[in-house]
Structure formats: C-alpha cells, structure tokens
Structure 1
Amino acid sequence: MPREIADPPNAEEVLRASEARLHEAQAVGRMGDWELDRDTGAMSWSPQLFRLFERSSAQGTPDLNEALGYYSLESVEHTRAAFWEAIDFGARQELEQTVLLPSGARRYHATTIVPVKDLRGRVYKLYGTTQDITERKLAEQELRRQTFEIEDLYQNAPCGYYSLDADGMIIRINDTQLRWLGYAREEVVGRMRAYELFCPASRALFGQVFRRFKKTGLMHNMDMELLRKDGSSMPVLLSSTAIFDAQGEFVASRTVLSDNSDRKQLELERAAHATRLAELSRHMVDVQENERRKFAAELHDHTSPNLAALQLTLTNLAHALPAPVHAELEPLLDDAQALLLDTTTGIRDICTNLRPATLDYAGLIPAVQDYAQQFRQRTGIAVHLDTTNFTMQLPSNVQSLLFRITQEALTNCAKHAHARNVRIHLENCDTRLLMEIADDGIGFDPRHLGESGTAPGLGLITMKERAEFAGGTFALTSGPRTGTGIRVSFDLQAGEFRKQPRPARSPANERTANTRST
C-alpha cells in the first residue's frame, strides 16, 4: 500500500515559524529590532524591544523623540546625533547607552543603526537592533574597578616595587619608589639597571647576589642602601622572587623594598643607649671600687692602731701582774690574745675582700697571688698562677675588673666545685688580652643553670656583666665531672693597654713569678 506524502508547508507557515525562532533568539540574547521611517518618523518595535524598555504593547510603539526619553541625559544627545549621522551620511552607527527604565532600574544597551537607501542612494529608512548589555557592562565596570585598585595598590603602596629583566634592566617600577628616588619614570624604565639605584657598597653586594638569584629565584630581607637622585641615601630592606618560563629560564624579577630608615634609626639609638649604659656601668664599677678602697682604708686606719695598742696593752698587763695573779688569770689572758688575733685576721680579710692594698701599690699579679694564698689557707684548694706570656701594663680599672672576676671565680669554686686545684692563666698577644680560670671540680651542665633545684648562677652573671661592660667577652665551659672554666678576653687594639718590659724582681714583686702554686 503506498505511503501517504504530507503536503509541504505553505509560505505563511514558514514565515510564522521563522518569526518564532527569531523571537526566541532575541529573547535569549535580550535583543530587539526596530525600524524608523525617515519621512513619517514612524517606528516599529519587535516584542522583545517592548520588554527591554518595560513598555506595554498597549501603549503602542513610540516615535523617536518618545523613545529617546528612556535614555539618561548623557546618552540622549549621543543617540540623537548617531541617528542623524546615519540619515544624513548613510553611515552605519554603533553606540552604547544608559537607559533609565520606568521601574527605576538602570540598564545599559548597545544599539546598531543600519541605513537603508533607495535606488537614488537616499536614506529612506533606518533599521537596527538594541541589545541589553547590562551584565557585560557591570562586569567591565567591576573589572576596571579591580584593575584600578590593583594598579593603585602597586603604584602607591607604602613600599617600593620594581621588576628586572635577565640583564638587570628595570622594566617596571612603582610611583612610591620613584618618589623615594626622585626620578621620573622615563628616566628609569628601560634606561637604568638595578645596581645604579644603590650606593657603592650595596652595588657590590647586589652584583654578587643577582647572579645567584637568577638561578635560585629568591632573595630575602637584604639590607641595602638606595642612592637618590640628589645623592642622599636611604636604607631599605629588599626581598625578591623570580619568574621563570616553561624551560626554567629567568624571565623577570618581582622585587619589594621597604623603608628601613626607622629601624636603622632605632638601631643607632639603641647602640648609643647601650654605649651610654656601658659607660654608666663602668662608672658605677669605678665608683664601687673607689668606695671599697675608701672603706677598706678607713677600716684599716681606724682599727689597726687600736688593735695593735690593745695587743701591746695586754702584753704589758700580763708582764705587770704578780706571778700568783698571772698564773690565775693566764687562761683569760690567752683567750683575750686569741680573740684579738682572730679579730685582726678577720679585719685583714675584710679589707682584702673590699680592696686589697696590694692591688694599688703592686698591681694585679701580686694582688691575685696574695688572695690565692689566703684562699688556700681558708679552703685547702691550691691555686696555680701562670703569667709566662703576660707583658702588659694594665689601667687600674682593668686590673680591678680582672681581680674581681678572679675573686668571684674562686668563691664559686669554693662553694660549688669540690675542686682540689684551680689554674689561673693570664697572657697577651699582639691583639688580645686573655685570662682563663679553670678548676678540676665536679662541673655542671650550663643548660640547667638557673633551673629549679640548681644554683642560681649569680656569680657567673656578675662575671659576665663585668667583662661585657668593660668591652670584653666572657665564655663559660663546663660539664659533669669535667670541671669548669671561664675565659675572659679583651681587644687590645683600642689602645687602652701598652706593652712594658717585665718588672725586675724585688722583695715587693718577688711573688709575681711566671708560674707559681699557692
């Protein structure tokens, strides 16, 4: 049975289908079309155009003047001029407009105007499309806003930025750094290499690190000095990362410089404060030593004559007593003599601890020797003094400092070390003065110093502060069952010390033998 063949659609149906597809496409694209008759001024709008302008079809199609009423003031004249340009010269026009809708919404349209000419070349009709581009326009505005913010952040950040190519040429620099330097952009970009921005000392450093930077891709917190156009300098802190291509080749740098002036100024002020504090500390030590000297002298001057006279009086009294009385009082007299001797010895020890007279009239070595002798008598610990390589005449304040450190070190040894021997070594070379004090005691772990249940270490702190206040260095070494050693050194280049020939032996300095045990 033959299959029935459907009748082909007529032209009207094809046209309706085509119009439906057109309207659907316009709705999806938020676009409408229109026509304008030049002679009558009548317009025709597609249904989508009514929706774009929020205009009811019942209101009918507006003429050109009424349609222009939908546009913002800045768009009205621009649109009117475009229509007349198309009519008078037959030129296609494309423009963007701001639309104020009846609902109060603000939208953006893109309009294309196409002139249609008759056989004589006269424009008799305009045809065009209008599309809602609000989303695109808002996206462009947001992009411009973000671009402006990023550019503003780059140009006016509170730090300098620049980028270099592989040859070190400046290819980008921000306004902040240009203001720091005092240059115009055209004087720098593509004309100067980075090393030219720095002071001579920083140039040498930059040249060394830039070659390495192109391989490692990182520079971090480098202290540099910018050289301004007027010749002045500016301390900065420089950090940089590199951009590499897919083959790992250096393309450009991303460098940030922060103003380091405040930190440098603080460092200078802190250094000046530390210097002033050290001066005050040294002055305090000098004042303390003078007070010790004065008090020791007054104690000696006031007590020694009286104790000597009392000793003589007791002796004369013992001789003047009748034999029977003397025999009866002899135990009391012996006790008085012993008490007097103990008092005299105690006052002598106090004066030595306060300020040994030997330190003032004979110098450091005899004073240490005397103190070591008394130390052994009190504690039974032998002290070995080695001055074989010591040939310096020291200022009195340095002698006092070294004696106090020795005194504190021996005191610590007697309290904590359980040692049998202490070695004191003093020497000088061309540039350094060195004193070492070491014992053979039980030692300790310096990491636990000051912890709960351990000695507070105030003596060590005092020695360290004394040495550092005077411009020296202090080092401590110790370990369980390995003894304890301290090392104090001073730089002789400051000119505080000068060599002198070793003094000749005399009864006053016979005790300053090169190596001696007490």
Structure 2
Amino acid sequence: MTKDLRETEERFRRIAENASDLIALLDPQGRRVYVNPAYDGLFGDRKAMIGSVSFDDVHPEDRERVQQSFFDTVHDGEGRRTEFRFLLPNGEERHIESQASAVFDTYGKVALVVRVSRDVTERRKTYEALQARDLQLQEAQAVANLGIWERDVQKDVSTWSDQLYKIFGVTRDSFNPGREAFLALVHREDRERVATSAKSLLDGGPALFDNQFRIVRPDGAVRTVYTRVRFDRDDSGRAVRILGVCQDVTDRKLAEEQARATEERFRTMVENVRDYAIYMIDPTGYITSWNLGAERIKGYHADEIIGRHYSLFFLSEHTERGDPGLQLEFAAIQGRYESEGWSVRKDGSRFWAHVIVTRLLDESGKLRGFSRITHDITERRRAEEDLHSYADRLRVTSRRLVEVQEAERRLLAGELHDRVGQNLTALGLNLSIVASGLPAEDYPELAARLEESSLLVQGTVDAMRNVMAELRPHALDDYGLPAALRTLAASFSRRTGIQVAFQGDAPVTSLPKPVDLAMFRIAQEALNNVAKHSNADHVEIAVKRTNGLATLSVRDNGVGFDPRRIGASDSGAGWGLLIMRERAEAVGADFSLRAEPDAGVQVLVEYHVGAGG
C-alpha cells in the first residue's frame, strides 16, 4: 500500500513538474504545500511560495469569493471550478480558471486540496476584442445608412436594398427601380449630369466611379447622396453588370457647410480680437498668421512679422537656454503648454504675459503647427504683488498687536501684584491683628464680622491670582507649554466641573516663545468657548511634536455646530474663532476648525518647526 502510494505521488509529481498549467497542493487552511514550476512564470521564485496563504495573491475584489469556494470544498469534499484574477508582485492582473479537487485521508476527511489553474488572460483579451469588433460592426451598419444596388445591363433589371428604398423615400411595392424611375428622383439641376456620366461610363471608362448629387423624395424633401459605382465588363469592354453603394450625406454636407461658416466666423473673430495676441506658427516655430490683438500687444504689423521665428518675443537669456524650442516640444508631446513670464515687444519693452501654446494636427494626426495665445497680465501681476505686500504688512501688524496686547497683560499683572496684591495682603494682616487682640467672647458680633472680612480678603486675593494667571501664565515662562496647559486644564476643570484630559510631551517646549504663547492663548479661548456654548462634559487637550510639526488640539464632546452658520446665531463665538485664527497666523501657524452638529468641535493648530514665528 505504501509502495503504491509513493508511486502514485511520484507519478503526480512528474506530471505536475512538466505541466504548463499551474498546479498547487493546499492544506485545509489554504496554505500552499506544493506548487509546480509553472508558477515561476508568473511569480518568480515558486519555492518562496511554499507555506504562504494562497488567497493573498488573489485580487482583493475576488478574494472573498475564492475563499468561500475553497472552504466549501474543504467542508463537503466536492470539486469546484472558479474564475478569478491573480494580482502579481509587479501589480499586473492575470485572469485565471481554476479547478479545485479534494484529497481525502484514510478517515475520509479532506487532507489536501489540489488546485489546477490556467492563465486565460490572453484568451480573455482575444474574446473581449472579438466582442468589441462585433459590436463596432453592428453599430457601423446601423449608423452608416448605406444602400446597395445592382443592375444587370443586358437584362436591364435593377435591384435595390431595403435601406436604399428608405434613402430615396419610396417603398418596394410602389417603386420600380429602373433607370428612368431613378433619374426622375434626381434633382432637375443635377439630372443631366448624372444621366450623361452614366451613359458615357456604359460605353467605356474606369472600373470605379464616384459621384455626388441631389435627389428629391416624393414628399418634396431634398437630400444629397454620395454613390460609388463599379462596372464589370466582358472581354470586349462592354459593361455587363453595375454594382453600387449609395449613402445619404445630407447631414454631413450640412455639417461641413456649417463648419466652414463657423471657421470663417472664427477666423474673422480671431483677426479682430484686440485684447489677446493670437497667431499660428509652423512646427519649427515660424509665424504663419497674425491678428490685430497681436499687432497691438506685440507692436509688429502682419507684413513685418509673418515668416519670422517666434523666439524674438523671448528675453535673450531665455532664448539662449532654449525656452522657445522646449515650449513647442512640450506642446507637441502633451498637446498644450501654458505658462507665465516676460515677453518682449517690438520696441524692446517687456510685459508679463500669460501664454497658451496648443498643438494642431491634420486629419492624419500629423503635426501641422501650433496656435499661440498671449495675454498681457502685467497689471494683474502688479495687483497681486500689491495684495501680497498688503497681506505681509497685515501679518506684521497683527503680530505687533498681539505683542502689544501681551505687553499690556504683563503690565496689568505686575500692577495687580505690586499694588493691589500687597495692599490686600497688608489688609489681611491688619484684620488678623485686630481679631487676635479682640476678646471674641465680649464682642461676638464684631469678631464674626472680622472673620468674614478676612475670608473676603482671602477670596479677593485668590480671584486676583487667577486673573493674574490668565493675564500672564508664569507656568508658561517657567516650565514651558505642556506644564502651562496642564495647569490651565486643571483650573478650568475645577472652575466649570467639565472633565479635562491632557496629553503633552516635553520636546514641544523647544518652540519659539511667541508660538508657545499663541498656542496657550488659543487653548484658553477654546476652553472659554467650550464653557459658554458646547454643553460638553469632557474635553481633550493634546500637544505634541512629530517630524518637525508641532500640534495643539482641543476637542470636546458637546453639541457642535455648523461652521457655515456661526455668525448668524452667536457673534461672540465667531469673534472668538477669528481671534484664535489671527493668533495662529501671526506666528506662522495653521489654524483649522472641525465641527459638525451633535459631533463636538475640534480646534487644531499646526506649526512647522523652522518655519519662523
């Protein structure tokens, strides 16, 4: 028995090793136990595939279906045929037909699954191409509207196809397609020409003949038809049979006439456009046409510029580095080239131009030249530069305002500490001295008032310290941003009862001081908005630095809002968001807001370390 099994295995291995089909043995979990050499042609090293999961190479869109088919075979032992796609290591897709068969152990359980697969990609491509060609042929027959006719000259009998009857607007039952009946349908202005050419060709002439003429249908409709005729002649040169095809080209002829009219209108329009320089150049760059706009913008008349190379519009240094040729080369390959840059007028002056170069092809697809459109945008560029300059000045002013505001905060905090704080401390000491020297049992009411006054002074001192902390957070100066935010979170939680979770890492403290301060103030404003508007019970504050990007995030689980409607219902909230955004932009950081109704709000500040601040 063992010998027979070994011989069977050896025969299987010899067959598999020499087979062109893909043969694999899979365990019940779908792992490959064996693959034959045919796998090398698709996957390279087949030995590396031993032990791999066979489904991993299946296209993701087919994987679930292939897995289900495989495990069904493992479950019931029945063979199954599947079609799927392999996704090769190089990204190529291959279409596969596969037959899975179960191999049972001595207990009747499925021990292995033999999968024999065949690459049918080329066959599938051929089949799809044949289908496409069949479809194209059917569409051509339907769209071409071709009629076919034949005439036996000796018997003087003509036959028409159904489509030809439709083209001439007659029916097979009511119309006899003889020569005289046919000529009666030809337009009277074309009839003599058609009759004369037909008679002369019968007597002798070329084997093939093309003609175009008009017909008048019985309903009065005038149509233009194109016909191609072949004459079969006997040994003496006499025509014995005529074969022809006839096509209604009325719509095409009308379209051609409309196209010619449109082209003429377009040419007239282009020639008279004055705000754009529009001209044609040949494949080598020599100018072949010139409109009024080009004359006005460039300064050249048509008779002095046509025939010259368009490189004379470039700065000399740009011509030397090959820009004119590169533009045409790019447009020839990509179909279009667009750029902005300096252009030179006839008088040597320069202007900033927006240029579009478009490739022009003939009917055979061969390059026949380029169109070039130039627009003088010097004023627009100057306005953009002024706008950028204004934006830069605005950012500097905004940053200066923040600096002044912080200076005022520091001054006010110092005044509170040096004057009000010291006076309150002295007042507290005096109250303590008076209370200690006054017998409480003799003056109980007065002693109670003194104690109440001491508590009031202490509360005022605590409130003042909180105000000072908000005006100038000493933790930020002494310990850095994470420590200051942690202190802010704890204070906010005590004051409002809203739980605040904080995550922060020490490396953020290496940010510039203005950035630290801006992030702290933005976090302050974000928490104020949470307390006023969110109805949240949980807030997350996170500050981190990863790959040169420092990030501050303040997220709540409140009612959220629609950012598009922020100004309509609460101008205070809109003002707070504006302040946060301006603080971020003043130090060169990016500010973003993510909010949706019933989904909370996240304030996000991102600062690229090294970007300046």
Taking structure 1 as the reference length, what is the TM-score of the superposition?
0.57
CA contact (8 A) 2:509 2:516 kept: no
1:420 aligns with one of 537, 555, 560: 537
In 2, the alpha carbon distance for the partners of 1:361 and 1:461 equals 29
1:344 is aligned to 2:465: no
**Structure 1: gaps (5+ residues):** 1-149, 497-518
Of 600, 609, 612, which residue of structure 2 is paired with 1:483? 600
What CA deviation, in whole Å up to 9, does each residue of 1:1-60 have, x standing for no partner?
xxxxxxxxxxxxxxxxxxxxxxxxxxxxxxxxxxxxxxxxxxxxxxxxxxxxxxxxxxxx
CA distance in 2, matches of 1:320, 1:278: 61
8 Å contact kept, 1:449–1:455: no
1:333 to 2:450 alignment: yes
Shift of 1:254: 4.2
2:280 aligns to what? 163
Tell whether 2:582 aligns with 1:465: yes
- Equivalent of residue 261 in structure 1, options 378, 388, 396: 378
Asked if structure 2 preserves the Cα contact closer than 8 Å seen for 1:195 and 1:207, the reply is no
**Displacement of 1:485:** 0.5
- Other structure's SS at 2:400 match: helix
Letter matched to residue 210 of structure 1: A
Matched residues in 2 for 1:307 and 1:189: separation?
Answer: 92
The one-letter code sitting in structure 1 at the alignment partner of 2:331 is F
Residue 442 of structure 2 is aligned to residue 442 of structure 1: no
1:211 corresponds, among 332, 346, 349, to: 332
Alignment coverage as a number of residue pairs: 344
CA 1:453 to 1:380, structure 2 compared with 1: closer, same or farther past 3 Å?
closer
Whether 1:290 aligns to 2:418 is no
Structure ID, larger Rg: 1
1:271 is the counterpart of 2:271: no
Match of 1:451 in 2: 568
Deviation string, structure 1 residues 452-472 (Cα, Å, up to 9, x no partner): 478652111111111122222
Instruction: Give the equivalent residue in structure 1 for 2:433.
Output: 316
CA–CA separation in structure 2 for the residues paired with 1:473 and 1:204: 42
The C-alpha deviation readout for 1:178-197, integer Å capped at 9, x for no partner, is 78668898996445366984
TM-score w.r.t. the length of structure 2 is: 0.49
Q: Is the 8 A contact 2:356 2:373 kept in 1?
A: yes
Partner SS, residue 605 of structure 2: strand
Tell me, yes or no, if structure 1 residue 374 matches structure 2 residue 496.
no
The answer to whether the 8 A contact 1:318-1:326 is kept is: no
Pairing of 1:9-24 with structure 2 (within 5 A): none
Q: Which moved more, 1:173-182 or 1:433-442?
A: 173-182
- Structure 1 equivalent of residue 184 of structure 2: none
In 1, distance between residues paired with 2:559 and 2:268? Answer: 69
For 1:153 and 1:241, the matched residues in 2 are separated by 15
The alpha carbon displacement at 1:384 in A equals: 2.2
User: Quick one: percent identity of the two aligned structures?
Assistant: 33
For 2:491 and 2:322, the matched residues in 1 are separated by 57
SS of 1:383's equivalent in the other structure is strand
SS of aligned partner of 2:567: coil
Amino acid at match of 1:171: T
In 2: Cα distance, 1:462 partner to 1:341 partner: 34
Between the aligned partners of 1:171 and 1:473, the Cα distance in structure 2 is 51
Q: Which amino acid aligns with 1:289?
A: E
CA distance in 2, matches of 1:431, 1:234: 41
The 2-side partners of 1:335 and 1:391 are apart by: 45
Matched to 2:602, the amino acid is G
Q: What aligned pairs does 1:102-121 form with structure 2 within 5 A after superposition?
A: none
Shift of 1:270: 1.4
Listed one character per residue, the Cα deviations across residues 183-242 of structure 1 (whole Å, up to 9, x for unaligned) are 89899644536698474697698457623674xxx77x8534436799986421235677
Higher relative contact order (CA 8 A, sep 6+): 1
Q: 1:453 to 1:393 in 2, by over 3 A?
A: closer
Assess if the C-alpha contact under 8 Å between 1:436 and 1:487 holds in 2.
yes
Q: Is the 8 A contact 1:392 1:428 kept in 2?
A: no
Deviation per CA, 1:117-155, whole angstroms, max 9, x where unpaired? xxxxxxxxxxxxxxxxxxxxxxxxxxxxxxxxx999959
CA RMSD in angstroms comes to 3.8
| Residue 397 (structure 2) aligns with | 280
SS at 1:226's partner residue?
Answer: strand
- Going from structure 1 to structure 2, the CA distance change for 1:202 and 1:387 (only over 3 Å counts) comes to farther
Conserved 8 A contact 1:352-1:371 = no
Question: Of 460, 468, 473, which aligns to 1:356?
Answer: 473
CA–CA distance in structure 1, aligned partners of residues 290 and 340 of structure 2: 19
Contact 1:243 1:251 in 2 (8 A): yes
Residues 544 and 551 in structure 2, CA contact (< 8 A), matched pair in contact too: yes
Measure, in 2, the Cα distance between the counterparts of 1:156 and 1:486. 51
Shift of 1:328: 2.9
1:223-234 matched pairs, under 5 angstroms: 223-226=340-343, 234=351
Residue identity opposite 2:474 in structure 1: A
Are the equivalent residues in 2 in contact too, given 1:438–1:485 (CA < 8 A)? Answer: yes
Please identify, of 265-274 and 187-196, the stretch whose mean Cα deviation from structure 2 is larger.
187-196
Q: Residues 209 and 464 from structure 1, CA distance in 2 versus in 1: closer, same or farther, beyond 3 angstroms?
A: farther
Which stretch shifts more, 253-262 or 472-481? 253-262
Q: Deviations over 1:303-341 (max 9, x none)?
A: 111111111111111111123234232331232122112
**Residue 307 of structure 1: aligned partner:** 424
Aligned residue runs from structure 1 range 187-202, under 5 A:
189-190=306-307, 192=309, 197=314, 199=318
- Partner Cα separation in structure 1 for residue 610 and residue 323 of structure 2: 28
In 2, distance between residues paired with 1:434 and 1:247?
58
Q: Which amino acid aligns with 1:448?
A: R
Change (3 A) 1:204 1:431: farther
- CA distance 1:332–1:352, shift in 2 (3 Å): same
Counterpart code for 2:583: R
The residue matched to 1:323 in structure 2 has which SS? coil
In the aligned structure 1, how far is the partner of 2:273 from the partner of 2:486? 71
Residues 1:329 and 1:152: Cα distance change in structure 2 (over 3 Å): closer
Unaligned runs of 5+ in 2: 1-266
What is the match of residue 57 of structure 2?
Answer: none
Residue type matched to 1:449 in 2? Answer: I
Do the aligned partners of residues 172 and 485 (structure 1) sit closer, same or farther apart at CA in structure 2, a change above 3 Å counting?
A: same
Aligned partner letter, 2:525: E
Cα drift, residue 291 of structure 1: 0.9
- Matched residue SS, 2:453: helix
Question: Structure 1's 321 and 281: CA in aligned 2 closer, same or farther, altered over 3 A?
Answer: same
2:535 is aligned with 1:431:
no
Counterpart in the other structure of 1:406? 523
For residues 410 and 325 of structure 2, what CA distance do their matches in structure 1 show?
A: 55
